[in-house]
Structure 1
Amino acid sequence: MDRNQAIGLGLIAVLMLLYSVFFMQDAPKTDPAQKQPTTTKVASAATTPAPVNDSLVTAQRVAQLGEFGTLATGQNRTVTLENQVLRLTLGSKGGALEQVELKDYKTWNQKALLLFDKESSEQVFAFQTNSGRTVRLNDLFFQPSGITNTTVNKLPAKVITFTAQVAPGQTIEQVYTLVDQSYEVGYQLNFRGMQQVVAQKPIVLTWTDRLKRLERDVKQNRAHSTVNYYTAEGDFDKISASATKNETVKLEEPVKWVANKQNFFTAGIIAQNSFETAEMRLEVLPETDTVGIKTLRSTLGIPMQDALANKAHFTYFFGPNDHDILKNVTEGFDRNLELGWGIFAYVNKLLILPAFDFLEDFIGNYGIIIILLVLYIKLILSPLTYKSYISMAKMKVLKPEIDAIKEKYEGDMQKTQAETMQLYSKMGVNPMSGCIPMLLQIPILFAMYNFFPNSIELRQEPFLWAHDLSTYDVFAKLPFTIPFYGSHVSMFTLLMTASTILYTWSNNQVSSVQGPMKFYSYLMPIIFMFVLNSFPAGLSFYYFVSNIVTFGQQALIRRFVDDATIRKNLEDYQAKNKGKEPKGGFQKKIQDAMKAAAEKEAERKKTK
């Protein structure tokens, strides 16, 4: 490893640390929709007795609701609507969602995975009447229709309607539509014949969601949970997931969708038109709370005119953060999957995900998929790997000449640098060629840094001693906590560290670097061991395999390119270009600048 490569590694390390702080804080497997039978199951309606209320409380509620008072009493009847991937529980009180279960997934402790339930989630629709009253749909009792079969975009679907009749010719309808094999739930809110009753003010939807722990790593679960939103103008934004105190964002502009996003799952609502206004709030829970993650609250304004004109159409999404699923929901919805910032997201979308999905179609073991993914990436990067190795070999071959220059001009740094650059130019060596190939690999390194912590495909997938490749492996539990390291030992991280040290040692065999820089090159793997100990096992395993493959690549190159061959090539270049002026370019500019600085320094010394 020469000086430029060491600088390159140092830059990569610093950038990865900064990136983690500023951007991370913020059988063949088929689509989950194909795992269940193709028939849609519908559970029969169940009746839940209403709580016993004395006549005074009931009378007060009826009086408060005015013309809606006849809808204030009744019994809550629950209806289950399900397809192959979702199971919805709807209640006649409020005509509202009570529970949403993802049938293909389990929580970290193998319980049913509920993205919405009555204990932790609530949606309240409220509107104002011309008489000045505020009415909540949740306080009204609706009549559920029978579940009917229909088709949506030529796909089988089930529909259920909840109706509340305010007066003859005046009804409120809530219609839920569930298509086969889909994580999307259609929702319509219709105010029929209500023009003379309701005020022309927005219907306010308040969605409060106290996120429950779904993953084994509570810290990671919390660090990837936030509110995302997308405006009607096409701008994506979010509340920072790394917020340490409660934060609120208030928008007066139209909003297309809002999503409560977690590590691997998202619950969101998308407007067919838009929400008039939106206010999103993130409330931080104490770190000692190992059950709750965060409390998310969104307050959305629905145009009353949309409800009166049968245009208040929405789509709920309750599902996994799978790119192939999210990208087909609506514009920008795939941003709920964290694939990185800027160019790193494009590397994941265009390079990593297609290869990963292709391998999934043929291989069921995700450890093997990661190994093949490494080979795929290394094949792409092999020209850079070759160029980097040749650069190190050239620097090693020229070390005797460089040492002679240092000895000749000892104490005169500018002259030493100028003569060294002249030697490089004469021998056809670019000193930056060892650094640049490594820097060009940064987009892929960072893409992987985002891919593995957010890849739902790896969730709860075991490999060797790791029970879940989407989180860290615990090879040994420590009875104490080491600062910046943790209270567990990740074997994949140790293997990655050992392989990186081996790779560094191998590089140093062909490197001219000496002194502190050599020590620094061995220090970097230790730093990464602390950084990655609590990162997903899949990421550490990827880096481990990558190091081994790179080590093998270099061993293969050594069999065909030795020091004698390098020396001959350099001498041939020198003989061919003897007497010629060096070509222009970055290297010549540096050489000219150094020469000018040396001449200026010499003149300054003469004038003393």
Structure 2
Amino acid sequence: MDRNQATGLILFAAVILIYSIFFAESQPVTEEVTPEQTEVMEASPEAEIRAMQEPELPQSDSLDSDKIEKYGVLAAFTLGEEKLSTLENDKIKVTISSRGGEIKEVILKEYTGLNDEPLSLLSTERSEMIFTAQTASGEINLNDLNLSPSLSTSESEDGEAQILTLSGATESGAISVVYSLEPGKYELRKEFSIDRYQGIFTGSTVKLSWADQVKRQEKDLAESRRKTQINYYTSSGDYDNLGVSDDTETDAPEESLKWIGFSQRFFTAGIIADESFQNASFTQSTPVQDSSTVRMMQAEFEIPFENGNYGLKYYFGPDSYNGLKKVTEGFENNVDMGYFFVSWVNKYIIVNLFAFLEKYFSNYGIIIVLIVLIIKLALSPLTYKSYIGMAKMRVIKPEIDELKEQYGDDQTKMQQEQMKLFSKLGVSPISGCLPLLLQMPFLFAMFFFFPNAIELRGESFLWADDLSTYDTFINLPFTIPFYGSHVSLFTLLMTVSQIAYTHFNNQLTTATGPMKNIGYIMPVMFMFVLNSYPAGLSFYYFVSNMVTFGQQAVIKLAVDDDKIRKKVEESKIKNANKKKSKFQQRLEDAMKAADANKKK
């Protein structure tokens, strides 16, 4: 190396040294880039928009060939782990799975079960709702599709509603299930929809198969089974049910339905259509040997699936008559208010009267006493007329006895002469009975109201722990046929009061022989019937008997038999020359014709 080359190398090294000293610190420091950052850096604007619009699908390593064959382009939705989400308000708590939006459990927060545990009205241990749809690859279970959950809220008329959105998307389209729960309500709204997937979903309906082993929630299993059945309401406005027999029952209504209810004694799980349910079929049976299950119910029906979506509403809640009326048309029929000739008493009088008294009194024993007093006061004019009618029959008893002595062997002639006597004296033999018959709807209406009044459930009074079931005063070491293995004290009090009332009433009437004794037999029969009925019902009849006894004692003090006899004599003079009415003449002619035929 010569001098010139050495000088060049030294100058080149000096330049590099000076450059590194003055310029190296101003260069950016190179950092290690992670794989996630690399994906973000390389993502295009179109990819970012797509990521915002399409929810993330559950990830898994691979799809087997069976799933691909069965689900086709939807196979990706079967991957991933199940996630549970909760919708909750002050009334109910609903747990929902990410797999198809299946309802896993419904808890009623204001009530407890048989052993004071949280009341589970629906759970996957006992209930199953399978939604299936027809696709190009065949029928699939929509509950197998795993979707991504997202919770949010929205404003409603009653406050802030909770919203659960379950969604997922592929290149071919998107699926979403949206649940909404408003505050203070037992209704859960569901909306299912698909976007695109042209040619994938080929059917026009989604099929729902709902099976439920209805869990026992009440002390009295027999009474619970008498009140548990499948109810449904047709699109034309007709209500029907499968009955309460222990035998297996089936039904397949030809008409489309508006709602279907799995109704227990005090609670109902129901499904309400936005439009209608089609091709429904029902099966109901009783597992007699299984004391933990009230009934086994199954319903299958189709939901119209137009334009890739459908909507419906669930009801999970108590059988409160006024509350059910607000749910949808005819839904209050899940509460049995009795046959048509007594149901009007419960629907329009007792239910509203009960609700009114609840605002001012918290003790339901006091409410029952007040209901008795109000009803007896309202019916007191009929009670008074009934007493006067019986008093008139009592004061003319000597005349009736004379007819019996004169025509005792000729019953037809006896009846004819009695009719003449009643007409002459201005006395009607049914005047004492008719007012009592008009009170019968109120008497029988209570047989349906108290066993179905959820307001009494768990309410105690005196020695009764629960007015909605029988009060056990004594447990017997054996079972008496048609009576049971316990003694209800309220039923005993009702029986004794009825016998006392019958004895008092017989002093006011002319009843003799079998008619006089039947009044003592009926209370004993009712003692057997009502021993296992709700304590509230027996208590109502006991109080009613005591009030009626008091009413008649007061009326007896106020009514003078001598004055009644005087009025009867005045009628006798007034009607001495009175002509027979057409009805009386026809009745007399019919009796004569019957007598003539008898003699022939």
- Under a length normalisation based on structure 1, what TM-score does the superposition of the two structures give? 0.86
What displacement does 1:562 show?
A: 2.6
Q: Which amino acid aligns with 2:265?
A: N
Q: Which amino acid aligns with 1:106?
A: T
* Counterpart among 433, 457, 467 of residue 431 in structure 2: 433
1:332 matched to which residue of 2?
330
* Counterpart among 248, 251, 254 of residue 249 in structure 1: 251
For the 8 Å contact 1:337–1:454, the answer to whether it is kept is yes
For the 8 Å contact 1:422–1:591, the answer to whether it is kept is no
For the 8 Å contact 1:492–1:541, the answer to whether it is kept is yes
Answer yes or no: is 1:117 the counterpart of 2:118: no
Distance change (3 Å), C-alpha of 1:575 and 1:551? same
SS at match of 1:339: coil
What displacement does 1:345 show?
A: 1.7
Unaligned runs of at least 5 residues, structure 2: 1-57
2:302 matched to which residue of 1?
301
Deviation digits for residues 509-553 of structure 1, max 9, x if unmatched? 111112222122211111111111111111111111111000001
For the 8 Å contact 2:471–2:534, the answer to whether it is kept is yes
Q: Which amino acid aligns with 1:249?
A: D
Distance change (3 Å), C-alpha of 1:164 and 1:125? farther
2:167 matched to which residue of 1?
163
What displacement does 1:294 show?
A: 1.1
* Counterpart among 76, 81, 85 of residue 79 in structure 1: 85
Q: Which amino acid aligns with 2:517?
A: F
- Aligned runs of 1:469-488 on 2, under 5 Å? 469-488=467-486
1:197 matched to which residue of 2?
200
What displacement does 1:274 show?
A: 1.0
Distance change (3 Å), C-alpha of 1:592 and 1:563? farther
* Counterpart among 128, 138, 141 of residue 134 in structure 2: 128
Q: What is the CA–CA distance in structure 1 between the aligned matches of 2:513 and 2:206, rounded to whole Å?
A: 70
Q: What is the CA–CA distance in structure 2 between the aligned matches of 1:184 and 1:279, rounded to whole Å?
A: 24
What displacement does 1:152 show?
A: 3.2
What displacement does 1:377 show?
A: 1.1
CA RMSD of aligned residues (A): 2.1
* Counterpart among 571, 575, 600 of residue 573 in structure 2: 575
What displacement does 1:161 show?
A: 0.7
After superposing on structure 2, the runs of 4+ consecutive aligned residues of structure 1 that deviate more than 3 Å are 53-56, 58-63, 152-155, 582-585, 587-598
Q: What is the CA–CA distance in structure 1 between the aligned matches of 2:131 and 2:553, rounded to whole Å?
A: 67
What displacement does 1:448 show?
A: 0.9
1:149 matched to which residue of 2?
153
Relative contact order (C-alpha < 8 Å, sep 6+): which is higher? 1
Q: Which amino acid aligns with 2:377?
A: L
Deviation digits for residues 293-324 of structure 1, max 9, x if unmatched? 11111112012225x1x4x1111000000012
Q: Which amino acid aligns with 1:566?
A: I
What displacement does 1:591 show?
A: 4.2
For the 8 Å contact 1:279–1:299, the answer to whether it is kept is yes
Answer yes or no: is 1:411 the counterpart of 2:415: no
* Counterpart among 198, 209, 214 of residue 212 in structure 2: 209
Answer yes or no: is 1:238 the counterpart of 2:241: yes
What displacement does 1:596 show?
A: 5.8
Q: What is the CA–CA distance in structure 2 between the aligned matches of 1:54 and 1:153, rounded to whole Å?
A: 46
2:114 matched to which residue of 1?
108
SS at match of 1:94: coil
2:145 matched to which residue of 1?
140
- Aligned runs of 1:10-49 on 2, under 5 Å? none
Deviation digits for residues 228-271 of structure 1, max 9, x if unmatched? 11111111111112x22222212343211111100000001101
For the 8 Å contact 2:158–2:182, the answer to whether it is kept is no
Q: Which amino acid aligns with 1:122?
A: E
For the 8 Å contact 1:426–1:582, the answer to whether it is kept is no
Q: What is the CA–CA distance in structure 1 between the aligned matches of 2:306 and 2:125, rounded to whole Å?
A: 33
Q: What is the CA–CA distance in structure 1 between the aligned matches of 2:69 and 2:61, rounded to whole Å?
A: 15
Mean Cα deviation higher: 276-285 or 397-406: 276-285
Q: What is the CA–CA distance in structure 2 between the aligned matches of 1:80 and 1:381, rounded to whole Å?
A: 52
What displacement does 1:169 show?
A: 4.9
Answer yes or no: is 1:497 the counterpart of 2:483: no
For the 8 Å contact 2:133–2:203, the answer to whether it is kept is no
Answer yes or no: is 1:512 the counterpart of 2:510: yes
2:14 matched to which residue of 1?
none
2:280 matched to which residue of 1?
278
- Aligned runs of 1:438-477 on 2, under 5 Å? 438-477=436-475
For the 8 Å contact 2:214–2:295, the answer to whether it is kept is yes
* Counterpart among 585, 590, 596 of residue 587 in structure 2: 590
For the 8 Å contact 2:73–2:172, the answer to whether it is kept is no
The number of residues matched between the two structures is 542
Answer yes or no: is 1:88 the counterpart of 2:94: yes
Q: What is the CA–CA distance in structure 2 between the aligned matches of 1:589 and 1:369, rounded to whole Å?
A: 51
Unaligned runs of at least 5 residues, structure 1: 1-49
- Under a length normalisation based on structure 2, what TM-score does the superposition of the two structures give? 0.87
* Counterpart among 207, 219, 222 of residue 225 in structure 2: 222
SS at match of 1:441: helix
For the 8 Å contact 1:396–1:510, the answer to whether it is kept is yes
